[in-house]
Amino acid sequence: MKGSNLFYIAVTATVLLSCSVVSHGGSRGAAADPTVRAAKYYPTPERATFLYTEGLKNSLMHGDPRRSAALFGEVLKLDSLHAPTYYELANLFAQTPQQAIPYSRNALRLDSANTWYLTQLGQLYLGTKAYDSALRVYNKLLKLAPGNPDNYVRLAALYEQQGQPFSAISVLDTAETRFGIIEGVSGYKRQLLINVKLYDKALREAKELTANFPYDASNFVALAETYAAIGRDSLALDAYKQARTLSPNNTQVLVSLNEFYKRRGDDVNFLSTARQLFEANDIPLETKIDFFKEITSSKDFYRANFFQINNLISDLAIKNPNDFRITQLYGNHLISSGNLEGALQLYKSHVTDSAPQREVFTEILDMESYLKHPDSVAKYTTLALEKFPSDPEFYLRKGFGMFYFMEDYAGAEKEFLKALKLTRTDSLRSVIYGTLGDNRQKMEDGPGAYGYYRKGLKYDPDNSMILNNYSYYLSEKDEKLSLADKMSEKACELSPNNPTYLDTRAWVLFKLGRYEEAKTLMQQALALDQSGSDELFLHYGDILYALKDNFMAVFYWEKAREKGYDSEEIDKRLKQVETK
């Protein structure tokens, strides 16, 4: 355990009475309180005591901090030097230490040797991170109440926080001299010694701990961690072995050993102990999930230790078949291993759950779309819509299935329009209108497409996809080229280094006769493109041809043919060169 963590534990291990209260004293309601009225019948000296006692009783028995604060306020009206009242008010305001501190200071001012008051003020200073003030208080407490070991730990933690580890060690030495070996104090001291590289002394402390408490597995863990800190791994493993002999199923021993293997880069034993930890029932499932995500975040580590990681997630999936978080982790693992069919079967097994997760369907649809299974896409979008009839995403997915796989553009438009009716955000409305415009282009209805594009841009003027597609289709038809020029320029500004948008921009410039600019941009598009788009090669060839570079134009047209572009179109272009 690091020193900073120990400091946090030390300063937060305080016990304060905590309630939510309101400001006391001077309350008009206090005069109507029957206890206040009754107090009038007591002689003046006893009246304050009576009200103070009633305030305490109310706090302890009825838990009404507002009334207690009012009663304590009445006490201070009668006796402004009543220290216990200030102390109790500070307790009432303990959850807001800044409010409580003035009361606590007043109590201590009136009775400076009272260790209860000192302890309270020290804890309040810790709560407000006034560590310099807290340090003074705990130094005074140590003189007035040297028999409380907690004060030594807090004072040591404060010295550590102030960057004075040797003073902290000295305080803990004093505690051990007075009280003997205390496990928690010794563990803290040992970590401080390691932090300041006093390894021999730290080792001596750890050995004394195991000698004094030989049947406590955690002490052997402390010894193992000390050996590990000074690089004596074989002795550390011996100490871990003793710890496990004493407590074979001790989770904390396994956690420490697992961390030891991790730091040493011993992946086999690291994952072996991790599997044992995954079997432990006292470790929260959330912790196991976070652990698995962490160890699979590195692709290299994942590949190198695939089979052991497979065992981990398989165990989790078997033990938690109804936790969808585990299903997703296991599904992602299967996808990473290339087992798409296994992942599909896993998700499909959850379709009939009494309350299926929408992600079950989105995962299935993503995979079926990737595998180009139109029948399955249609089937599972229909099932999804039965379960989630108000979810626009599934209408969109159904429309995309018709668009890409069945080329049923009229049917796709109907589904996109259904999604549009259910959409609640302008950004998604813009996306859907853009999709409707692309769909209309497939239907060879340019005016209809442009109408949809314009509506999409009203909802989101910065929709770069619409800006790009709208400008491209205008340029293809040699229509409104100045508008296409502005839109393609904006699309490239919104999404720089996008090869598709650069291609459109270059093509618009080509149509405007700005060939050199078009050539430069098309070169950038080709350099950035990772897809090997045949259209980019074709366009570059056309631009080169316009610049009278026939040789390179033919080269890029042939590259387009190689990438799959229509041979008849390529032949038409080649004939143009031959006739010149």
Three-state secondary structure readout of 95-121:
CCHHHHHHHHHHHHHHCCCCHHHHHHH
Both tokens assigned to 311: 């065992």
* Tokens at 560, concatenated: 């387009």
pLDDT < 70 regions, the chain: 1-32, 181, 183-184, 580
* Alpha carbon distance 225, 235 (integer Å): 10
Side-chain-side CA neighbours of 577 within 13 Å: the count stands at 19
Confidence at residue 126, expressed as pLDDT on a 0 to 100 scale: 87
Residues 6+ apart with CB under 8 A from 271: 295, 305, 308, 309, 312
Backbone angles phi, psi at 548, to 5 degrees: 70, 25
Which among 477, 514, 506, 474 is positioned nearest to 489, based on CA atoms? 506
**Sequence-distant (≥ 6) Cβ neighbours of residue 549 within 8 angstroms:** none
Q: What is the pLDDT of residue 183?
A: 64
| Residue 545 neighbours by CB distance under 10 Å | 20
Would you report the helix, strand and coil content of the chain in percent, each value rounded to 5? 75, 0, 25
Contact at 8 Å (CB) between 84 and 10? no
**What are the tokens at 8?**
């946090």
Provide the 8-state DSSP code for 530.
S
With H, G, I as helix, E, B as strand and everything else as coil, classify residue 412: helix
At residue 350, φ and ψ (nearest 5 deg) are -100, 0
User: What is the CB neighbour count within 10 angstroms for residue 551?
Assistant: 8
Distance separating alpha carbons of residues 21 and 60, to the nearest angstrom: 14
377 vs 116: CA distance, rounded Å? 72
291, 294, 297, 303 alpha-carbon torsion, rounded to 10°: -50
**How many angstroms separate the Cα of 137 from the Cα of each of 9, 250, 452, 484?**
19, 39, 73, 75
Contact between 236 and 199 (Cβ < 8 Å): no
Cβ(164)–Cβ(21) under 8 Å?
A: no
pLDDT score, position 64: 81
Among 179, 96, 134, CA closest to 11:
134
**Helix pair angle (217-229, 183-195), 10° resolution:** 10
- For 210, the 3-state DSSP assignment is helix
Q: Identify which of 274, 232, 250 has the alpha carbon closest to the alpha carbon of residue 242.
A: 250
Note the pTM of the prediction, 2 decimals: 0.62
Nearest to 206 by CA among 232, 182, 224, 179: 224
Cα separation of the two ends of the chain: 82
Computed over every residue of the chain, the mean pLDDT equals 87
For residue 495, what is the DSSP state?
A: S
164 near 139, Cβ under 8 Å? no
| CA distances, 12 to each of 93, 125, 158, 285 (Å) | 17, 11, 12, 27
- Residue 393 CA to residue 52 CA, distance in Å, equals 65
Side-chain-side CA neighbours of residue 428 (13 Å): 14
Residues 6+ apart with CB under 8 A from 176: 182, 185, 186, 189
